[in-house]
Amino acid sequence: MGKCKIGIIGFGTVGTGIYRILKSRNDVHPILKDIEIVGIAVKNINKNRNIELENNLLIDDPNKLINDSNIDVIVEVMGGTDMAKDIILKSLKARKSVVTANKAVIARYGSEIYATAAKYGVYVLTEAAVCGGIPIIEPLKRSLKSNQINKIVGIINGTTNFILSKMTNEKADYEETLKLAQKLGFAEFDPTADVEGHDAADKISILSELAFGGRINRDSISTEGINQINIKDIEYANKLGFEIKLLAFSERNTINNKNSLSLNIWVGPSLIPKYHPLAKVDGVNNAILIESYPLGEIMLYGPGAGSGPTAASVVSDILNLQASLSKNLPTKDPLLSFNFWRDCHIIDFNQISKKNYLRIICLDSPGVIGKIGDLFGKNDVSIESIVQLDASENKAEIVVITHEVSNGNFEKSKEGIRALPEVELIASQLSCI
Ligand code: HSE
């Protein structure tokens, strides 16, 4: 088998991880020795880097790698969106296969990128873009292909899971824990993408496209992050037998549309019963539960961020390419490459049905729980539990957990509750599974 020559664009957390794997003496398959780094393009060659590099690998112009006829594969790990998208498209047009960890680009421009790869007869592989070190892209493309996927639900952002775990288990401060996640290399360059849920929305969009076969309009995914989470909600949830996690959810919906598959996709902080396998996923770990037919339910679990795990996913993609390039086949492997095979659409927010948690601050006066219950009943919202958890200085905190109800009916109930004279504020609302 010949050498697979690669050019790496970007040399941050993931890029240095790739270099370390390729130069290590770990006891791995000998095929790894056939990957050769031709060059690494960076913004600033003279920057102080905490890594010993072979001479002359660093260059400052990515085009030199893209246009180098010796190079088979471009590895894009520079991050960002517009420039990274241009680099990926240029590389594909130069007939180089691309390996990328860039979920923001794939979630927004995946269809253009997949189509360009198909047109130029090359691959674009994205294992590292979703859930760091966990193999999820390749299983969805190949190993699970004989199953009808019905639902994917997961914890797919390591930074927010790290923060929520520390807030739950150690009563840690939100801001300090976020800083620690940044220092450990888990968070995005701009951590608002993590804490506001956008990183998870990018990832569930990519997973849904692979699982259901149709293009997803990334911008219509209802997305909420953990930045509004109050420590009280964590405490109350724990008291009632739940953990709070940032969940990404994608499910086939029964709403019938002959021409397009209806999907219910959302991202939001959610209560999970403590006995549920996802409730036990702590720290930077991710987990994805996939329900399919005839397989049933499986869960993939492991480190969802960080230099080593993410770089390992990049290198496994390079190995896939090396194996496929060395076969020199005239046509591409139809499963390893990816093409849409149907239309999908996300159902309207008001049509989504789910369980909800609501924390209401109100006057501690007789009959208020009855009035709240009444409003839910009038709007066809069935309540699983309603409790008063804290009462001081005439104020009470009422926590409601509903059964699965439509967002539309739930929102109407909230309007009524807000208008009650005893109600001061709806302090928080979370999803439940
Ligand atoms: N910032 C991401 C996370 C990195 O925390 O999960 C991996 O995509």
pLDDT the model gives residue 1 = 63
Report the nearest atom of ligand 1 relative to the CA of 162.
5
Report the nearest atom of ligand 1 relative to the CA of 200.
6
Of 320, 341, 362, which residue constitutes the final position of a domain? 341
Centre of ligand 1 from the C-alpha of residue 158, in Å: 5
Residue 414 has pLDDT above 80, yes or no: yes
14 annotated to a ligand binding site: yes
pLDDT in tens, 366-405: 899 999 999 999 999 999 999 998 777 778 999 999 999 9
pLDDT the model gives residue 117 = 96
Same-domain pairing of 172 and 53? no
Evaluate the CA torsion angle 48, 49, 50, 53 in order and state its sign. Answer: negative
Let me know if residue 191 belongs to a domain: yes
Same-domain pairing of 122 and 166? no
State phi, psi for 405 to the nearest 5 degrees.
Answer: -140, 160
Average pLDDT over residues 157-185: 93
Decide: residue 421, CB within 10 A, 0-12 exposed, 13-18 middle, 19+ buried. exposed
pLDDT the model gives residue 330 = 66
Is any atom of ligand 1 closer than 6 Å to the C-beta of 159?
A: yes
Q: Which of 182, 188, 189 to mutate to test the pocket of ligand 1 (most atoms within 8 A of CB)?
A: 188
3-state secondary structure the chain: CCCEEEEEECCCHHHHHHHHHHHCCCCCCHHHHHEEEEEEECCCCCCCCCCCCCCCCEECCHHHHHCCCCCCEEEECCCCCHHHHHHHHHHHHCCCEEEECCHHHHHHHHHHHHHHHHHCCCCEECHHHCCCCCCCHHHHHHHCCCCEEEEEEEECCHHHHHHHHHHHHHCCCHHHHHHHHHHCCCCCCCCHHHHCCHHHHHHHHHHHHHHHCCCCCHHHCEECCCCCCCHHHHHHHHHCCEEEEEEEEEEECCCCCCCCEEEEEEEEEEEEECCCHHHHCCCCEEEEEEEEECCEEEEEEEECCCHHHHHHHHHHHHHHHHHHHHHCCCCCCCCCCCCCCCCEEECCHHHCEEEEEEEEEEECCCCHHHHHHHHHHHCCCCEEEEEEEEEECCEEEEEEEECCEEHHHHHHHHHHHHHCCCEEEEEEEEEEC
387 annotated to a ligand binding site: no
Report the nearest atom of ligand 1 relative to the CA of 161.
5
pLDDT in tens, 40-85: 999 999 888 888 888 789 999 999 999 999 999 999 999 999 999 9
Let me know if residue 347 belongs to a domain: no
Centre of ligand 1 from the C-alpha of residue 310, in Å: 9
- Structural domains in the chain (count): 3
- Among 96, 203, 245, 414, the active-site one is 203
Centre of ligand 1 from the C-alpha of residue 194, in Å: 7
Let me know if residue 51 belongs to a domain: yes
Looking from the CA of 319 toward its CB, the CA atoms found within 13 Å total 17
Same-domain pairing of 176 and 291? yes
Is any atom of ligand 1 closer than 6 Å to the C-beta of 162?
A: no
Same-domain pairing of 262 and 171? yes
- The CATH number that applies at residue 89 is 3.40.50.720
Decide: residue 72, CB within 10 A, 0-12 exposed, 13-18 middle, 19+ buried. buried
pLDDT the model gives residue 308 = 95
Query: Could you tell me the residue range of the domain that residue 417 belongs to?
Result: 352-432
Let me know if residue 261 belongs to a domain: yes
Let me know if residue 246 belongs to a domain: yes
Centre of ligand 1 from the C-alpha of residue 242, in Å: 24
pLDDT the model gives residue 2 = 78
pLDDT in tens, 2-34: 789 999 999 999 999 999 999 998 899 888 999
pLDDT the model gives residue 333 = 87
Same-domain pairing of 193 and 104? no
Percent of the chain having pLDDT more than 70?
A: 99
Let me know if residue 100 belongs to a domain: yes
Is any atom of ligand 1 closer than 6 Å to the C-beta of 194?
A: yes
Residue 258 has pLDDT above 90, yes or no: no
pLDDT the model gives residue 327 = 67
Residue 243 has pLDDT above 90, yes or no: yes
Same-domain pairing of 167 and 148? yes
Name the pLDDT band for 328 (thresholds 50, 70, 90): low
Name the pLDDT band for 189 (thresholds 50, 70, 90): confident
Same-domain pairing of 268 and 219? yes
Distance separating the N- and C-terminal Cα atoms of the chain: 49
Centre of ligand 1 from the C-alpha of residue 212, in Å: 23
Same-domain pairing of 33 and 179? no
Between residues 328 and 259, the one the model is more confident about: 259
- The CATH number that applies at residue 280 is 3.30.360.10
- Tell me which residue of 295, 249, 302, 296 sits closest to 272, measured CA to CA: 249
98 annotated to a ligand binding site: no
Percent of the chain having pLDDT more than 90?
A: 82
Tell me the pTM: 0.94
Nearest protein Cα to ligand 1, atom 4: 305
281 annotated to a ligand binding site: no
Same-domain pairing of 165 and 275? yes
Centre of ligand 1 from the C-alpha of residue 380, in Å: 39
Same-domain pairing of 187 and 280? yes
Let me know if residue 250 belongs to a domain: yes
Same-domain pairing of 328 and 362? no
In the annotation, is 274 catalytic? no
Q: Kindly list the distances between the CA atom of residue 223 and the CA atoms of 197, 203, 429, in Å, as whole numbers in the listed order.
A: 6, 12, 13
Average pLDDT over residues 296-311: 95
Report the nearest atom of ligand 1 relative to the CA of 181.
5
Name the pLDDT band for 156 (thresholds 50, 70, 90): very high
Two tokens, residue 348:
């309207």
Tell me the pLDDT of the chain averaged across its residues: 93
Is the separation of the CB atoms in 6 and 35 below 8 Å? yes
Let me know if residue 346 belongs to a domain: no
Nearest protein Cα to ligand 1, atom 1: 187
Same-domain pairing of 205 and 164? yes
Average pLDDT over residues 356-371: 93
- The CATH number that applies at residue 389 is 3.30.70.260
Residue 187 has pLDDT above 90, yes or no: no
